[in-house]
Amino acid sequence: MDGYVLLGNEAVALGALHAGVSLAYGYPGTPSTEIIEYMQQVIEPKSGVRAQWCSNEKTAYEAAVGASAMNRRVLVTMKHVGLNVAADPFMNSAIMNIKGGVVLAVADDPGMHSSQNEQDSRFYADFAKLPCFEPHNQQEAYEMTRAAFDLSERFHVPVLLRLVTRLSHSRAIVRPNPSRDANPMVKFTGKDDFITLPATSRKRYAEHLELYKRLRAYAESETVNPLKPGDTDAPFSVITSGLGHNYFEENAEDLGFSPSVLHVNFYPLPEEKIRTLAAGSKRILCIEEGYPFIERLLRGILPVSVTVSGKLDGSLPPSGELNPDIVRTALKLPEPSSKVEDGHRNLAPLPGRPPQLCKGCPHRDTFKALNTALETYENHLVTGDIGCYTLGYLPPFEAIETGLCMGASITMARGAAQAGMYPVVAVIGDSTFMHSGLTGLADAVSSSVPITILILDNSTTAMTGGQDTIFESKGIRKVVLGLGVEPEHCVEMVPLPTKHEENSDLLRREIEYKGVSVVFAFRECIQTAKRKHTKEAKA
């Protein structure tokens, strides 16, 4: 047996490499991060293949379109909320005449294991009228990535590969197929292939709508979306997608009958197949991970005489991750009888154990200094951002008060200051600042608002496990000065317990300044520092 035990994310990476990918771009975001990380580990330095982190998802996606124009196959990776950032180029690329295959792997996070919302990327594929694959195990993650590249080149459109946390972060055995060579570099030839002007876009959009019909026909093929007929007198039929299929299978043998099952691997939905399934059933139970995407579309496809059950009628919960127990309840199966003795119930309800900043994390000292600096002001606002330091919202620090999305600490601070609030401090990490803090800083400087921006520079993207930032530490200082921050109000501190007084004084001074000031708190993340240390010790 020739196989590897891989995370779902690693299976995608291997699939892309075996599909002859030349480039991969992404921005780290749990649960998508390991795709690029795995590629970086296994790519031979001399191969010419590259996997790189970008400043954000939009730049990553745009780079991919550029590579495709040169006939290269390219993978783009991000988490679901990252696609909001890349939505602009994503929507427009749908009507371009993609040359080298473009596959966009997006990892959704139902259950919000480490995200600020749940959202379902299948809606984006539908919104852009683009094809979407949804694997339900690691082997499929590998195979569908390859199929997605082929399809992208065949239909000249980007293809979305929708993953979810539980697939991205689970391991199973993957058996690979022989790999394919990379495409040669060849410049695109169609004059309006990669341009969007109203005149060209109108023409291409009309073509895109025609193409969508062909995609729908493709979705009807048995290999793509398999329909398995069951007992003719079964009380209901089932439509599954993604991991919903696994939890259904886990319980199916207890049903005592076999329902007809349509498993959706590929979107747009196979409407003909759905009608065939519905012809023999009064009720269809829809088991899908994420939003009720299929379920809602079903209501437009099926006659009203067919009952559709799923998240909308409460058969399945409207939010959170699916699991075998939830699906068991939806199938109206009794709870499993085996139960442990009630010994543990003597104990009061167990206290939660929320995540917290590591012991010795530099952010701890920064938050302490900030809290001390702000003590003298009765009223103040500290806007926060996305990163480990978001944990500064929780006790014991309770130092930040907001968290909207990447980069919003600075822009929200600007708005609050112009609304009349003073003092306002924006807290943002170095990687997040490069992601989407720069444009906010330009806004703030242009309107010279009295805000203090605290850049927590720990030289890494810590929350996702310590990926390299695109600039070395301190490199950002030049950018900040370049955007017009006064040099005397672009200052540095080192967050250490011994420097508490010094740092809180410095922060108070900058808060007193009635313009845009930027304070860098420089100290490496202790996790990255530790890893470097072990590596050096080994070398």
- Rounded to an integer, what is the distance from CA 49 to the centroid of its chain? 23
Interface residue with other proteins among 303, 343, 420, 487 (CB under 8 A) is: 343
| Residue 465 binding other proteins, by CB under 8 A | yes
| Residue 193 binding other proteins, by CB under 8 A | no
| Residue 357 binding ligand SF4, by CB under 6 A | yes
Bridge partners of 266, per DSSP, are 133
Pairwise CA distance, residues 52 & 247, whole Å: 35
Segment near ligand SF4 (CB under 6 A), from 131-139, 221-229, 254-262, 358-366? 358-366
**Tokens 């979407």, located at residue:** 132
**In 187-273, beta strands by DSSP E:** 227-228, 237-241, 261-264, 266-267
Give the Å distances, CA to CA, from 303 to 69, 278, 323, 517.
Answer: 44, 9, 30, 62
| Residue 452 binding other proteins, by CB under 8 A | no
Contacts of residue 36, Cβ cutoff 8 Å, sequence gap at least 6? 13, 24, 25, 26, 28, 51, 52, 53, 77, 467
156 binds, among ligand SF4, other proteins, none (CB under 5 to 8 A by kind): none
| Residue 454 binding ligand SF4, by CB under 6 A | no
Interface residue with other proteins among 147, 215, 357, 438 (CB under 8 A) is: 357
Window 244 to 303, contacts with other proteins (CB under 8 A) = 245-247, 249-250
Which residue lies nearer to other proteins by CB, 37 or 120? 37
| Residue 458 binding ligand SF4, by CB under 6 A | yes
Spatial contact of 27 and 78, defined as CB atoms under 8 Å apart: yes
Q: Tell me how far, at minimum, the Cβ of 466 lies from ligand SF4, in Å.
A: 7
Interface residue with other proteins among 92, 323, 371, 473 (CB under 8 A) is: 323
Pairwise CA distance, residues 302 & 295, whole Å: 11
| Residue 363 binding ligand SF4, by CB under 6 A | yes
Pairwise CA distance, residues 364 & 495, whole Å: 8
**In 85-141, beta strands by DSSP E:** 102-108, 132-133
Pairwise CA distance, residues 239 & 264, whole Å: 7
- Could you tell me how many residues of this chain bind other proteins (CB under 8 A)? 51
Q: Tell me how far, at minimum, the Cβ of 450 lies from ligand SF4, in Å.
A: 28
Gyration radius from the chain CA atoms: 26
458 binds, among other proteins, ligand SF4, none (CB under 5 to 8 A by kind): ligand SF4
Identify residue 65 by its one-letter amino acid code. V
Which residue lies nearer to ligand SF4 by CB, 247 or 367? 367
Q: Tell me how far, at minimum, the Cβ of 471 lies from other proteins, in Å.
A: 23
- Most distant pair of Cα atoms in the chain: their distance: 80
Which residues are at the interface with ligand SF4 (CB under 6 A)? 357-358, 361, 363, 388, 458, 462, 525-527
Which residues are at the interface with other proteins (CB under 8 A)? 5, 30-31, 33-34, 113-114, 166-167, 169-173, 243, 245-247, 249-250, 323-325, 328, 335-341, 343-344, 346-348, 350-359, 388, 391, 463-465
